[in-house]
Amino acid sequence: MRTEEAEEKAGEEVKEETVEEAEQKGEEVAEEFLEEELEEAEAEKPLEEEVAEEIKEEEVKPPKEEFEEEIVEERFYTIPLSKAWLVPPNKRAPKAIRIIRDFIKRHMKLEAGKEGEEEEEAEPKRLIISNEVNERVWSRGIEKPPRKIRVRAARDKDGNVTVYLAEGD
């Protein structure tokens, strides 16, 4: 019996030592982990500072100028696109864009006079269709453009016409 008791006591001492050692090792591991986290946080601080500096630089930059310099004339149109549905399905959205282009040329008098009265000195007037109009036409894909679209046509001082999506649409 004495041997058994001695073995039990020795086993308890070993267990106590291993628990104490484990606690010490756990503390060391926790300290190492905290040190690594601090190092990472310190490494991230310069990145955060750089990002903050970049944001400040962006704020300092002057705002981008709009394409419309001075609007001389501005009109709102509802353009019917029903004729785009008469062509094959895989050609409807491009046809709708052509219909918009032709409609604006006709109504904003963008074409250069009659054939005999062409002026070679003046720059040709341009028609610019904004991305938002293009995205609205193509929003449901090539096969299903809208039946009609409401746009705002603005002529600048150079005679160029830009087509925007009407406000509220």
Which whole number is the average pLDDT over 36-48?
Answer: 62
Total domains in the fold of the chain: 2
Same domain, 78 and 160: yes
Tell me the per-residue pLDDT of 104-140, one tens digit each, with 9 for 90 and over. Answer: 999 998 876 555 555 555 566 799 999 999 999 999 9
Same domain, 32 and 5: yes
Q: Is residue 107 part of a domain?
A: yes
What is the residue range of 15's domain?
1-64
Same domain, 58 and 107: no
pLDDT score of 142 more than 90: yes
Q: Is residue 106 part of a domain?
A: yes
Same domain, 4 and 85: no
Whether the pTM exceeds 0.85: the reply is no
Measured CA to CA, the distance from residue 19 to residue 151 in angstroms comes to: 78
Give the pLDDT score at 42: 63
Q: Is residue 4 part of a domain?
A: yes
- Name the DSSP class of 69: -
Measured CA to CA, the distance from residue 28 to residue 31 in angstroms comes to: 5
Same domain, 75 and 149: yes
Q: Is residue 38 part of a domain?
A: yes
With DSSP H G I counted as helix, E B as strand and the rest as coil, what are the percentages for the chain, rounded to 5? 55, 15, 30
Same domain, 152 and 75: yes
Same domain, 13 and 95: no
Same domain, 52 and 104: no
Same domain, 53 and 80: no
Same domain, 81 and 60: no
Q: Is residue 34 part of a domain?
A: yes
Q: Is residue 37 part of a domain?
A: yes
- Range 66-101 burial, b when 16+ CB lie within 10 A, else e: eeeeeeeeeeebebebeebeeeeeeebbebbbebbe
Same domain, 84 and 2: no
Residue 50's pLDDT band, with cuts at 50, 70 and 90, is: low
